[in-house]
Structures are given as C-alpha cells and as structure tokens.
Structure 1
Amino acid sequence: MDEKKQTARPYRERLWVPLWWWPVAFAITGLLAAEIHMGAPGLRAWLPYVLLFPVPVWVLLWLSRHRVEVAPDASGTPELRVDRAHLPVNFVARAAVVAHTAKSAALGRQLDPAAYVQHRPWIGPMVLLVLDDPDDPTPYWLVSTRHPERVLAALGLPSAG
C-alpha cells in the first residue's frame, strides 16, 4: 500500500478528435450549404453558410470534451479523474495497459457490464484499473488515453501489461 502512495506527478490530457476530422466536417458542411444555396440570389446565397458552419465546430468540440487527469485528492493521495468520475489510487488492486490491438477483446466478450468504461474510438490504447473496494460493485475501470504508461506512472502504479 505504501508504494501506491508515492508522490504522484500530475497528468492531464484532453481527448481531442483527430485533426483530419476538421476539414472533412467543414467539407461536408460546405456541400450541404451549397445544396441549400443552389445558385439562388439574395438571402439564400449566404445564409446557409453562416448558419451551418458553426455546427461542425460545436459537434467536434463536444466530441473532444472528455478529459483524463491524475491529481492529488484532499488527503494528498493521487486519484484518477475522468470527466466527473473520481477514482482514488488506494482502491486500485492492479493496473494494465490495453494495447489498441487488444481493445476489441476488452470491449467485446470480455467486458463486464458493471465496469466503468470511458471509450473513445479514435484513441488507440486504454488503461485497465482493477478495483479492490468491497463497497463498490464496479469491478474495474477501462479508460481511453493516448499515453497509458504516463497515466499509470502519475498514479504510482506498475503496469502489468
């Protein structure tokens, strides 16, 4: 238990959508606005572009809203924060890195329905944190992150995978 209470390095990551999604979203929006415009003069010439172009910005920013963070709690023990969910490190029995090649199995037949899952399809690897809390029915957390080794290092946990 003492090795889990090491001084943790803070970690913060925002799970942004891939950059190539932005031009694709604007191209699709431009095509839709051009279909509405269809060469008509006046208001229909510019209004579709003005009204539709904020939509992909809002959608892509909404998809990128998720954060993974490791920070100390009130007692100084590191905890994993995924959006509004908090997991103190002293409830973690063991941890592993789930490679992008094993993600399909981890989210498929092997997935426990009671597990806490924060999955983003555009993020390859994941972190698996098996819990040891008799008061919590959640057996483990499965969280998408671009740098799973850094998350585990920030939590002060050894990686089993």
Structure 2
Amino acid sequence: MQLSAAPYEERLTAPRSWWLVSGLVGFAFALILTPLGTLPMLGGLAGGTAVAAVAASSYGAVRIRVVGGALIAGEAKVPVTALGEAEILDEEEARAWRTYKADTRAFLLLRAYIPTAVRVPVTDPEDPTPYLYLSTREPERLVEALRAAQAAV
C-alpha cells in the first residue's frame, strides 16, 4: 500500500466545556440519589460522570485521515481518485452547507463545535454521494494533503 505524499490525521475531539458538563451530569445524579443515602449518592456521582464522559469521548473520537491514497473520514473510505477539488469553507459558508445548501445524499461528518469545514465533490459516476462535508479545525492542511495525495496517484 502506497502512502500519500502528505499524510494527514485529525481527531475531532469534543471541546473542554463538555468535560465540565460531564461533571455536572454526575453532580445531578448525585443530587437525585441523595435521599437514598451516602453510598447511592457517591455511586450516582461516579456513575453519572463516567457515563457522560464516555459519551463525550466517543462523540469526539472520530478521525479524518488522508493515507494510502484514500480519504478516511469516520466510517467513510474514499479513494482520492474519486474526489474532485476540495473547497475550504469558512464559518458562514460552512453553516450554509450544513443548512439550506445541503444535499440529503451528501456524506456529512459534522461537529457543531467546529466552525470551519471542507467540502469535497465526489466525481465517481457510480457513487450517488455528491460531496463530502467534513468539519475540520485545519482545513488548509486537509486540502493540501488531499492535493498531494491526488498528485501522487
């Protein structure tokens, strides 16, 4: 397997504030279980915090990679030869492509807490997906990696 000229990897981690919310969820569970005694209250604190933290961690575990001549975004794996020219979307344009410009057939890997994105047209005539919408904190690096991988193929 050939590696792309500019390998790229990004993990779309949840923002720090979500970890605070996890603690608040645990605190809420502790308050709910307080009438049952100290041990259930502590169990609610630990259990509620743990469940909320696992949920935040799993939601932020998705990765975008350009490697081996393919773009891997979450569960999607598309060869770079089936992709067109990537377009960087600023906050306003990204919001437009998430809402009124969106196509229901598109693959959306979006995270609302990441304001910028990249839109990549799918040029494979047998693929019904018109484009990939990828939330990314580093759109310039992703586009550069895609260009390098397409040039290497």
- TM-score strictly above 0.5: yes
1:89 is aligned to: 80
> Cα 1:149–1:45, aligned 2, differ >3 Å: closer, same or farther?
closer
For residues 16-60 of structure 1, give each alpha carbon's deviation from its aligned partner in whole angstroms, at most 9, with x where no partner exists: 01012111220232133123114x545334332233221111111
SS at match of 1:135: coil
Question: TM-score normalized by structure 2?
Answer: 0.85
Identity %: 28
Question: Runs ≥4 in structure 1, deviation > 4 angstroms?
Answer: none
Selected match of 2:16 from 14, 19, 41: 19
Question: TM-score normalized by structure 1?
Answer: 0.81
Aligned residues: 145
How many angstroms does 1:117 deviate by?
1.1
Matches within 5 A, 1:6-155: 8-38=5-35, 41=37, 43-72=39-68, 78-155=69-146
Q: Residues 94 and 131 of structure 1 are in contact (CA less than 8 Å); yes or no, is this contact kept in structure 2? A: no
> Cα 1:156–1:42, aligned 2, differ >3 Å: closer, same or farther?
closer
How many angstroms does 1:145 deviate by?
0.9
Bigger helix fraction: 2
**Rg: which structure is higher?**
1
Task: Indicate the RMSD between aligned Cα atoms, in angstroms.
Answer: 1.8
For residues 79-132 of structure 1, give each alpha carbon's deviation from its aligned partner in whole angstroms, at most 9, with x where no partner exists: 210122112111122220011121221112211111111111111111111121
1:50 and 1:64 map into 2 onto residues whose CA distance is: 21
1:43 and 1:20 map into 2 onto residues whose CA distance is: 28
1:141 and 1:129 map into 2 onto residues whose CA distance is: 5
Q: Residues 86 and 146 of structure 2 are in contact (CA less than 8 Å); yes or no, is this contact kept in structure 1? A: no
> Cα 1:44–1:97, aligned 2, differ >3 Å: closer, same or farther?
same
